[in-house]
Structure formats: C-alpha cells, structure tokens
Structure 1
Amino acid sequence: MESHGGDTDGVPVPVAIAACTAMTFFYVAILYSPTVVLRLPPPSSYKSFMIRRFICAAISTVVSLIVCAFILPIKSWEVSYLLSAYGIRLHHTWEGVVLPLFLTSSMYAGSFVLKIVSLWSTWAEDSDDQINLSFDGLKRILQKFVNWMLSLVDNISAWRIYIVAPLTEELVFRACMIPLLLCGGFKPYTVILLSPVFFSLAHLNHLLEFYMQQDSGFLRAAMVVGFQLGYTVIFGSYASFLFVRTGHIAAPLVSHVFCNYMGLPVFFSHKTGMVSVAFVAGVVSFVYLLFPLTSPDLYNNTTDDCKCWHRYCGWTN
C-alpha cells in the first residue's frame, strides 16, 4: 500500500469497496422506498413524485456523508477539517468553478458555433419583429433569457437535472467514494477508472423504468440505457479526474451541471462545416489544457502534510 502523506492510517480495501457498493445500492434503493417499504399511496402528480425522490436522494446523501466520516481516518471533528475531506471548502472556489468550466466548455466548441449560427439565422429571417443588434433587439433577447430563467424555478425537471441530481451524485460518488478508495491505497488513475463503475451501476434502474414506462422492447431499452451507461462512465471518469486533481468538489459539480445542460457535444452539422472545425479545435484545446488547468497548485494553498484523501499532494504531472 502506498504512503498516505501526513496520515499513516488508511482504510482496508475490503471496507472501502464494501462501503462504495453499499452507498451505490442505497442511493438507488431508497428511491423506491416510499412505495415499496413505507407503502405510501402513489403520488398524485409528477411534481409530487419528483419531490419524493428529491427527499430520498437527500437522505441517502446525508447518510453516505456520515458513514464515510466514520470510516475515513479523520483525526478531528472540526467542521472545516471534516468538510475538507469531501473537497467542500470556500478557499479557491473561484478557481474551482471557472477553470473546470472553461476546460469542459472547450469540448462544446462545435455546439457553441451551431447555436450562434442558429441565432444568426433567426435574426436574419425574423424581419417582421426587426430583431437585430440594436438596443431594442438586445433588450428583447435579454427579456427572453430572464423569462426562461424564471420558468426554470417552477420546472421540477429542471430542479432534478441542474440541482438535485448533480449535487447528490457528486457528493456520493465523488466526495464520499473517492476518498474511501484513495485511503484504501488505490492509485489515482485506478480510482479514476474504478469510481465511474459505481456511478454507472447507479443508473441501471433506468433500464427497468424505461422498459416499463415507454412500453418498448427489452432490446431497444437495453441499447438506450447501454448508451447512457457508456456516457456516464466517460463523464464519471472525467469528474473523478477533476476531483482527484483539484481536491475541490466545485470542479466536478459545475462540470456536471454544465454537461447536463448542454447534452452531448455536437461534432457535425449540415448547416455549416465550421461546427466540425470548431469541435476538433475544442478537443485539441481540451487535451492541451487538461493538466495545466487542473494543476493542484491552482486549487490549494499547500500540498504539504496532506491526508490520504488528498492524493493531489503527490500528483505533480
């Protein structure tokens, strides 16, 4: 087992794996507890159904954080020290938000170009409303943006996609599981590949839900969910990389929200070849900036005397 820096204690490997497996199972199983365990009547609306799930996800997240705190070799119960084990801290928040967001957005260069082309086409074709770059035109665009933001406040699906799911998943599958695996002696690259396995397993319930709700064939449901699982593994690896490199929960969290909003990157469009050019340029930029923009020194005051869950201390690549 590797040295753990300033902390000589670790977590036995079987305990780390068992805890991660239990957290994954609990995160999914509790979603069905209101009807299966508590025997509550079916929710009266989609909104009440989602609120139940929000409460269940919040409970599983809090339980995971508490259990993890007792397993990790934490020497102090001081709040700031305890939260730092999960990458929850206020210092270097600006770097933890802006730099990973910029890095992630480079993969969506093609998507941005396509949106710009689409907006330009709308302005050019909408001659009746005279939408242009004048003050009135910009004012109208701003008003539409404000109305869109206000509509999200009462949109329960938006709460799920942009707030509840990213926050609970990052706290459970990154903030809890990665410190456990690192303190179990796993090397950073192993954790980056192993952690997404638990993350993808937590999405297997979508197979059953898709199969039952869409009344589609099992093969089609398996293909759809298989594609989703593949995407979650790729994103989970990237989010884990961000968390291990930066030691800051804000890095994977803002990237998760951004990717949920953008969807899959656009790499081709029949409207213009500039989309493909921008996509390739974005990928090249992403690869080139991946390590410089995630350098541990940018997100931490010091890398001396770190604990086993702060593996960025020894990562100087």
Structure 2
Amino acid sequence: MEQETGMSKPVAVIACATMAFLYVAILYAPTLILRLPAPSSVKEYLIRRFICATISSFMSLVFCAFLLPLRRREATYLFRVYGIRLDHLWQAVVFPLSLTCLMYAGSLVFKSLLLVDSWKEHMHLGEGNSLNCIKDILQNFLAGLSSTASNVLAWRTYVVAPLTEELVFRACMIPLLLCGGFEIYVVILLCPILFSLAHLNHWMEIYGRQNYSLLKTFMVVGLQLGYTLIFGSYASFLFIRTGHLVAPLVAHIFCNFMGLPKLFVRRTGMVSLAFIAGTVAFICLLCPVTQPHLYNDGTNDCECWHGYCSSNLNSKC
C-alpha cells in the first residue's frame, strides 16, 4: 500500500512533525535569527507573530503541494485537497457551528441567565421601559463589537490563530497522513497530538512571563494541552468528514470565543442540565450531521470526502 501511494508512513509523519516544528519555531525567528530588537509594545509583538504565522502557513502549503503524490497539480485541484472550496459553503458553516454549539449548551444557558438578570435589574431600577433596555443592550453589543474589531489580541484569537492553525494542522497534515496510508481513526488521533505539542511553547511563556510556580505552570499547560487534544480530534474529524476547511475553522473560532464549556453553576442546576442535554445531542448528531454527502456532490462511494481512505488510495493519490 505504501508503495502504491508513493509515500511511506514515516515520510508522512516526519513531514507533519517538520511543519509543526516550523509553525512554532518561526515565531521566534525575528528575535533569535534576524536579531531584531525586542518589540516595544504588545501590538508590535503580535503583528510580528502574525507575519511569522502567515509565512509558516504559506511554506507548509507549498511544501505539502510538492510532497503529496497527486496526479494533478492544478491550483483548483490543490485547493480542494486543502479543503479550500466555495461549494456547499453554507452547509460547512451552519451544520458544524450548530453541532459545536451543543457542547456549549451550558455556557449559552448561563449567558442567557446573565442577560435576563441584567434585564430585570435594569427594569427594577426604573431606568426606562423594555424598549430602552433593548436599545441599551444593542448599543453595548455594537460597542463591544467595535472594540473587538480594533483589538489586536482579538485578531490573534479569532482570525490569525484559527486560520493559520487549520491550514497547517488540518489542510496540510491530514492529506499527507491519509496519503501515507494511515487509517482515518489514526489520523484523527495523530494530528491532534502534533497540534497539542505545537502549543508547548505556552509553557515557556507562562512560566517565564507570568511568574507562575512550576507546578501551577504544569497544571495550566496540561489543561490547555488536554483541551487542544480534544478539540484537535474534533476538528480533524470535521475536516475528514466534510472535506471543507471552513467546517473546522468556524468551530475553532467559536471555541476560542467561548473558552472552556461551562459545566455547572452553584446557584442553578439549569446550566448542568443544559450541558448534559447538549452533550447527549452532540454525540447523537455527530455522525449524521457530518455525513460527507451533505458537503459534496459526490463521494465516489468512499468513506471519506476525497477518496483518501485506505480503499481508494491508489486511485486518488
């Protein structure tokens, strides 16, 4: 099988590990390699990282294009391999986003309760009628949206990090591993490991800059790695099932926005009930909502979206 695909499993793994290392290492290139002076502000620091992450992603896309044993090298075909498509776009946005929301049912209920409490407090203080209350809420929402759009940290969290990470760790790595002959379930587990290891640089940042103790640093980073491992598996599953890069991308942005799911709140059990109900619904709908035929015109009777599964490697790669 490995000879038929033109790529061995070790080559695929080494290529993915190289891209993961490059994605992290290049972030430190301005200071360590180019010997640029230390950034004078957080904004300058993040802009440097934006540029480095963009360069790394582009290099990975080019590297992957040359390494993949594809019979066709047209740009449109390569874009489809990377999951960069415009067809079935609304399905790739709405279905995965709705599915991801189920895991945050507890958090969404909690936020709704806070909104209701704010409404009641506003009305109790006699600060106006319900129409004025709605107007104030909308104004606060628009003000927050405007503030977020001009915040460089928000751009990192909601745009640059999700986009570059999905390009490297999903669009590039998954086709390589599948063409290397790995089974789909192995790819879903292997990609998140590389994805999690690429976040180990947070250990140095937390320990060195926030003056945490070694134990607290390990606990914080361990929690982050566990979360990225779980999310990485989910994002890889979405990409393989849908063949659309937008699917894991919108899930990534939403998860970054919501943070960790809210499991319980002391004052009410509604949050816990919502979380449990959402989790059950998520498990039940995970496979039906991500069926490949919902996101593709044809799957050639293949288990995955592009014919990269083990039964079709020779015909597609």
One-letter identity of the residue aligned with 1:183: C
Change beyond 3 A, Cα 1:276–1:206: same
Q: Distance in 1 between matches of 2:106 and 2:158?
A: 22
Q: Distance in 1 between matches of 2:19 and 2:106?
A: 37
Deviations 1:169-200 (A, max 9, x none): 00000000000000000010010001101001
Aligned pair partner of 2:104 in 90, 103, 108: 108
How many angstroms does 1:305 deviate by? Answer: 8.3
Which stretches of structure 1, 4 residues or more, deviate above 6 A after TM superposition? 305-309, 312-315
Q: Is the 8 A contact 2:7 2:180 kept in 1?
A: yes
Q: Distance in 1 between matches of 2:145 and 2:302?
A: 41
How many angstroms does 1:144 deviate by? Answer: 1.3
Q: Distance in 1 between matches of 2:180 and 2:128?
A: 59
Change beyond 3 A, Cα 1:308–1:280: closer
Q: Is the 8 A contact 2:188 2:236 kept in 1?
A: yes
Q: How does 1:95-244 map to 2 (within 5 A)?
A: 95-126=91-122, 127-128=124-125, 130=127, 134-244=130-240
How many angstroms does 1:128 deviate by? Answer: 3.4
RMSD of the TM alignment (CA)? 2.0
Q: How does 1:289-300 map to 2 (within 5 A)?
A: 289-300=285-296
Deviations 1:132-173 (A, max 9, x none): 6x3332222112111111101211110000000000000000
Q: How many residues align?
A: 310
Q: Is the 8 A contact 2:102 2:281 kept in 1?
A: yes
Q: State TM-score, norm by structure 1.
A: 0.93
Q: Is the 8 A contact 2:162 2:252 kept in 1?
A: yes
Aligned to 2:73: 77
Q: Distance in 2 between matches of 1:311 and 1:240?
A: 16
Aligned to 1:62: 58
How many angstroms does 1:41 deviate by? Answer: 0.4
Q: Is the 8 A contact 2:240 2:304 kept in 1?
A: no
Q: Distance in 2 between matches of 1:309 and 1:111?
A: 32
Aligned to 1:261: 257
Aligned to 2:247: 251
Change beyond 3 A, Cα 1:284–1:305: closer
What runs of 5+ residues in structure 2 fail to find an aligned partner?
312-317
Q: Is the 8 A contact 1:96 1:250 kept in 2?
A: yes
Q: Distance in 2 between matches of 1:146 and 1:2?
A: 54
Aligned to 1:22: 18
- SS class of match (1:73): coil
Question: Percent of aligned positions with the same letter in both sequences?
Answer: 60
Q: Distance in 2 between matches of 1:293 and 1:312?
A: 21
Aligned to 2:5: 9
Change beyond 3 A, Cα 1:171–1:194: same
Q: Distance in 1 between matches of 2:237 and 2:94?
A: 16
One-letter identity of the residue aligned with 1:271: R
